[in-house]
Structure formats: structure tokens, C-alpha cells
Structure 1
Amino acid sequence: MQAILRAKGVDLFYGTQKAVSGADFSLKRGEVTAIMGSSGSGKSSLLYCLAGVLAPSNGTVSFDGVALSTLSDDDLSTLRRERFGFVFQYGELLPELTVEENAALPLRLAGQRKAPAHAAAGEVLGRLGMTDLLRRRTSQLSGGQSQRVAVARALVHRPDIVFADEPTGALDSANASAVLEEFLRLAREQGTAVVIVTHDATVAEQADSRYTMADGILK
């Protein structure tokens, strides 16, 4: 199967410091790939290059055969909003919104009306065991509950790829296992490809393929 996401010779500098060095990467549709490495290894920097959040200093990242560098800022923003999903280590939810409103946000930003957007969000949240908490403010949630909302938000618009940056790093082992299991189950049922950045070998073991990163070098 042809890769949906491909990176070739990606370098990333922060000033004179090289965070990523000559990275080659590929991801197929529906594939779950883990990028392992210790803190400071460059794995999160690479993830943001793959997701089009950061522009590589050298090299190319292509999605569906199109180099991200050839897209306008508006087209790149649309791509990230409509065809990518993101799960961050600490959820990054909007505390002034309810659980349902947070999860529906990608659909609302894409122009979908409130009722169908909230219905779609409620369906995904229900599959994550959050049906009883739809109207609750996210500031009232536990860490595990917050991360489930973040997972729902990343998957609600059925993206082609979800980028997950240490998605269970802030959770205890029981919550981490439960959240990861539901995340990967839903992603695989939808045919969504997933890139997980992690330092946890037990997380990486659930991936279809694995890379390791050290000192900015991906292997």
C-alpha cells in the first residue's frame, strides 16, 4: 500500500541547534506507527514537522503525494483542520467549553452546524464511555477523562491521520492503558493512521511499526 505520509531528508534547526537530522519516514493508510525516544531526542520536533505545524529547515514532507511546502498558509491550515487530528500530552482542552463542545470543535470549525456536530461528538464520546459527562465543563474532569475528550476531538471528523504527542504521558498506568486501548481501537475502526510519539515501550508495543530517535536521528 502506498504511503499517505512521507518525509525525506528532514532537518530542523532551532537557531544553530539541530533538533532533527536527515529523517526519512513513511506512514500507510490505517497504520499505527510509534516514534520512541527519550526526552530531548527530537521526536516531538519531528512530529510537528510531519503534521505541518513546523516547516523543516531542509527536506520534504508530503501528504497524499503533495509536498506540504507547496501549500499556501490557508490550504495548510485547512489540511490540518480537516484531514489531521491531534492528541497532546495534557489534552489542551478549552476549559470554558463543555465536554461535548470540545469534542465537536473540529466539525464546528469546518463549518458544520451545531446539532449534527454535537451528535457526531456524542457518538464518539459514548464509545469512549463519556456519555454521562457531555454537559460537564472540562475543568471538572479527571486526567483520564480529559484525555478521552482529547481523543474524541482528534477522531470526531474522521481524519486521515492522528498525530499523538505523548498522549498517555500525564496519566497513571491504569488510565494510560484504558485511554490508549480505546484510542487505537477507534482509530483502527475508522481506518485512521496514527503517529504516536512516546518514551513508553508498552505504548510502542501496540503499534504496527516502530522508529527510534536519539540525538535528532531517526532509525
Structure 2
Amino acid sequence: MSTSEVLRASGVSLRYGETPAVREAHLSLAAGEVAAITGASGSGKSSLLYCLAGVLPVDRGEVRFEGRVLGDLDDEEISTLRRERFGFVFQYGELLPELTVEENTALPLRLAGRRKRAALREAGEVLDRLGIGDLRERRPGQVSGGQSQRVAVARALVHRPTVVFADEPTGSLDSANAGAVLREFLELARSRGTAVLLVTHDTTVASQADTRYTMADGVLDMAGAAR
């Protein structure tokens, strides 16, 4: 794991109306690091994740990506950052039903301007690494939950992002599938030098991270190194 910092939250706070969701959060993520935030539903962990990804604007404090303050960027700059430098994995995959597995995986490359043939070739290589290359012509409705999450992982990593933000990436899977998908996800991310920030209610999932945080009532605390 590199010691080069790519993401930093300093005193980040967020409110929904009068309700505080995140309170003065501080977090640092290095290149290639895997960090996990655990907490109960409603603790604020997903809200913090979306602040760090530039999806939600913060009310106080700042988020820096490679030294740049996200709040200082305009909409186009933020969109470009999320499209080209960030990857996302959601609890239910969020695949586009009208596209094949291969086309879903290639989508970040196509959005970045990569030619279709080259994008599909790279997508196929990542799918092969995750053991689902034989599913490339199927559509999302024709694959299992575990396979769908592997496709979501492939899509998040295919363009070699600097950071992947994962919101309960195994929350919809049974324990056997969850363990396998998480292992493959983190192995591929680490092999590419991609940092991962994941939120989860599952301490077993969090135990696979290099660094762990806990969150309760909007307050983020360092839980210490996991390994």
C-alpha cells in the first residue's frame, strides 16, 4: 500500500434540514489503501461516502482529492472526476438492463471516449479475471445476484480509477457469495493500485480492510488497523 494520500476529509459536516447526518468527520485515504466504515443503518456512513465522492455537497469542512478541494470545482469538473477517476459499487449492482454484461462493464471506458472495440476488449479481460467472462453476452436479468455484483465490480474497476467508493457492496448477497465477491473485488483493486472506501454494517466485510472506522449518530471514529 502506498503512503501517498489521494483523499482527505477535514471537519466534514452535513445536515438534512435540521437533522445532522455527518458531524465534523476527518478521514484520510492513501493510494492503494482499503478503508472500511462500519455502523448501523442511519449512522451517516452512506451520507459521508457520497460527500467524499462529490455527490453530496458538504455544509462545513472540505473534501480534497489529490489536493483539490471538491467544493471549488464546477459541475463539469466534478462530473469528469466521478466519471474518470472514481468508481462506484452499489448494494444492488445498478446495472443497465438493456445492455449486455460486457457492455455494462465497458460503459466507463466508452464514456471516457474509448473506441467500442477497445473498450469491449478491456471489459472482457476484467470479466475473465473475475471468472465471469463466459457471461459477457448475457443481460443483467439473466445472471445471478453474485454474478451481477461481480459485473458491478468489473465496471467500477475497468477504467483503473484512483478510488472506488463501495456502498454495502455485498449487502444483498448470502454469506458465501458475499465472501467470494469481496475477496475478488479487493484482490483486483489492490493489484491495480486502486484505493477503496467501503461502507458496511458487516464487521466481517470490514475486517478485510487495511484501516477501519466506525460511525454512530454521524460521528466518525478511527477503529484502528485491521491487519
Q: TM-score range by the shorter chain?
A: over 0.9
Is 1:141 the equivalent of 2:143? yes
CA distance in 1, matches of 2:85, 2:145: 26
CA distance in 1, matches of 2:184, 2:163: 16
* Residue of structure 1 equivalent to 2:173: 171
Match for 2:36 among 10, 30, 34?
34
Gaps of 5+ in 2: 222-227
CA distance in 2, matches of 1:161, 1:189: 13
* Residue of structure 2 equivalent to 1:62: 64
CA distance in 1, matches of 2:31, 2:172: 28
CA distance in 2, matches of 1:72, 1:139: 37
CA distance in 2, matches of 1:85, 1:173: 24
* Residue of structure 2 equivalent to 1:156: 158
Match for 2:201 among 199, 202, 216?
199
Q: Percent identity of the aligned residues? A: 71
Corresponding residue SS for 1:20: strand
TM-score with structure 1 length normalisation? 0.99
- Alignment of structure 1 residues 45-60 onto 2, 5 Å: 45-60=47-62
Q: Which residue identity does 1:179 align to in structure 2?
A: V
Matched positions, count: 219
CA distance in 2, matches of 1:2, 1:192: 12
Is 1:215 the equivalent of 2:223? no
TM-score with structure 2 length normalisation? 0.96
Is 1:80 the equivalent of 2:55? no
Give the drift of 1:2: 3.4
Corresponding residue SS for 1:197: strand
CA RMSD of aligned residues (A): 0.5
Cα deviation 1:121-179 (Å, max 9, x = unaligned): 00000011111110001111110000000000000000000000000000000100010
Corresponding residue SS for 1:164: strand
> Runs in 1 of length 4+ with deviation above 3 angstroms?
none
